[in-house]
Amino acid sequence: MLFGLLAGLIAVLVPCAVFTEAERNFCYSIVSKVNRHTNCGVDWSLPLTEEQAQRAISCDHEQCDEPRRGDPVAVFWAGYNDTACFRIPTVITSHTGTLLAFAEARLTSCSDDTDHKLVLRRSLDGGTTWGDLIVAVDGIVPCEGCPASVSNANPVAVWLQGGRAAILLHFNTLNNPTQLVHGVAMQIWSFDDGLTWEGASVLTYPPVHNIGGLIGPSVGLQADDGTIFFSARQPERGTFLYWSSDFGASWRASELVPTDEFGLDECSIAWLRNSSDGEILMNCRTRLNERALMTWTADGLPGRVTYPGLTDENCQGSLLNAGGAHFLSHINSRWERAHLQIHRSTDGGKNWTEVRKVRRGAAAYSQLIELGAAPRGGGIRLGIIFEGGTWCPYEVIGFWQFTFRESAARRTALSVDSPA
């Protein structure tokens, strides 16, 4: 019955598409909230041209002026490179200072369960312009009857023995795995700043079995002693941390934090204090419509799970340690993928202050990145890559950079229990 009512509503609203742009805004605003939950399934605006994509990521909350300097820059968009949809963005800085923006290229639709590739674009000017599309991983069919839905690009810039720089990318060969139907978790390397990729191999991380537990989606970390860390979720079992103390040659996993008890999903990790002691802060989406925090020791022992009062739509977010504080990007809504905001904590996650509204309108997954000291007036430069659009959060993946200064931060904090 619910499906029939929804279908009827959409049928009634379809004439919105034939009105002039000014006349159809009200009509579109009604259906847009439904659309945000359907992977753009009723979005008749796709595909987009580059000009339309730039306008869509510059617009916000159904209000739009012409794109201006300082607006987000469109990096991937529906229709780019003859691809139906791009999702699940992340971004890192290589050791040469190049920005590498990754995404899933979903070839025929925005669905999780179609054929995908893992792709990236490189920026040599701090995110203002972006180079040609590069394919890092082609999807392969991982099991009988399964799509080639390679997913969850998780990169990290690493130093190897002897001082050689590399980009390590961890990923999964099947999206939405289960205990019975799954792919595997894998890794692949780039030794030329992301231009080419080689050495794909299947991961082993005992005592957890590799049945394609979804990694991140976020970024990895490398400690000062060379140890590399990632987070993942074993299908239907629990969340775990895994790490390598030999520069990616072998891996070991922590115990599982049970899904049934805590429901942690799509976790992002950052250093609790700094990269010298190896302790990690983890932030996750949950089924409770608020985000969860927990700490990990350098040898993979979990602390207790806490809930710091940060609203969430059960959508991925990202965590960053920068400028002596933690920054968290997330959807600040319980019922729609919109209202992308950034909160900041200066006490290891005990209290959080809202410091930036990135987007009021349609938005979803995101990843924060530190870009260095602000050139004038103090503060730090931060960047965020995120999903957004005029009517649907999966129209465009954009990159926005901004300066954070302590004096400009809003002072109202959320008081919560310590995650330690």
**Is the predicted pLDDT of residue 157 greater than 50, yes or no?**
yes
* pLDDT score recorded for residue 272: 97
The letter for the amino acid at 113 is D
Are residues 416 and 306 in contact, defined by beta-carbon separation less than 8 angstroms?
A: yes
- Give one DSSP letter per residue of 239-275, joined into a string: EEEEEESSTTS--EE---EEHHHH--EEEEEEESS-T
Integer angstrom CA distances of residue 13 from 17, 110, 113 = 8, 22, 28
pLDDT band at 26 (very low <50, low <70, confident <90, very high): low
Q: H-type helices in 14-65, by residue range?
A: 21-35, 50-58
* pLDDT score recorded for residue 5: 42
Torsion of CA 177, 178, 183, 189, to 10 degrees: 50
The span from the CA of 109 to the CA of 107, in Å, is 6
Structural domain spans, the chain: 1-35, 48-415
* pLDDT score recorded for residue 176: 95
* pLDDT score recorded for residue 279: 97
The span from the CA of 286 to the CA of 7, in Å, is 29
pLDDT band at 374 (very low <50, low <70, confident <90, very high): confident
Burial 13-29 (b: 16+ CB within 10 A, else e): beebeeeeeeeebebbe
The span from the CA of 378 to the CA of 48, in Å, is 38
Judged by average pLDDT, the poorest of 63-72, 276-285, 296-305 is: 63-72
Q: What mean pLDDT do residues 62-66 have?
A: 56
Question: Domain 48-415, what fold?
Answer: Neuraminidase (2.120.10)
**Is the predicted pLDDT of residue 3 greater than 60, yes or no?**
no
* pLDDT score recorded for residue 378: 82
* pLDDT score recorded for residue 59: 78
pLDDT digit string, tens, across residues 205-215: 999 999 999 99
> Is 15 in a helix, a strand, or coil?
helix
* pLDDT score recorded for residue 390: 84
Integer angstrom CA distances of residue 107 from 40, 114, 149, 351, 389 = 14, 7, 10, 42, 19
Could you say which DSSP state residue 18 is in?
A: G
Q: What mean pLDDT do residues 284-300 have?
A: 94
Give the residue, 420 or 223, on which the prediction is more confident. 223
* pLDDT score recorded for residue 15: 46
**Is the predicted pLDDT of residue 1 greater than 50, yes or no?**
no
Integer angstrom CA distances of residue 167 from 3, 105, 196, 219, 271 = 45, 20, 10, 11, 19
pLDDT digit string, tens, across residues 82-122: 999 999 999 999 999 999 999 999 999 999 999 999 999 99
pLDDT band at 4 (very low <50, low <70, confident <90, very high): very low
Burial 297-310 (b: 16+ CB within 10 A, else e): ebebebbebbbbeb
Q: Give the number of other CB atoms < 10 A from CB of residue 246.
A: 11
Integer angstrom CA distances of residue 304 from 294, 394, 401 = 6, 34, 34
Question: What's the distance, CA 204 to chain centroid?
Answer: 24
* pLDDT score recorded for residue 375: 83
The letter for the amino acid at 411 is R
The span from the CA of 248 to the CA of 230, in Å, is 11
Q: Give the number of other CB atoms < 10 A from CB of residue 175.
A: 24
Long-range contact pairs involving 102-107 (C-beta distance under 8 Å, separation at least 24): 102/136, 102/153, 102/155, 102/169, 103/75, 103/76, 103/153, 103/397, 104/150, 104/151, 104/152, 104/153, 105/76, 105/81, 105/133, 105/135, 107/83
Beta bridge partners of 165: 159
Q: What's the whole-number average pLDDT of the chain?
A: 88
Gyration radius of the chain over CA positions: 21
* pLDDT score recorded for residue 27: 55
Task: Return the residue matching tokens 């691809």.
Answer: 83
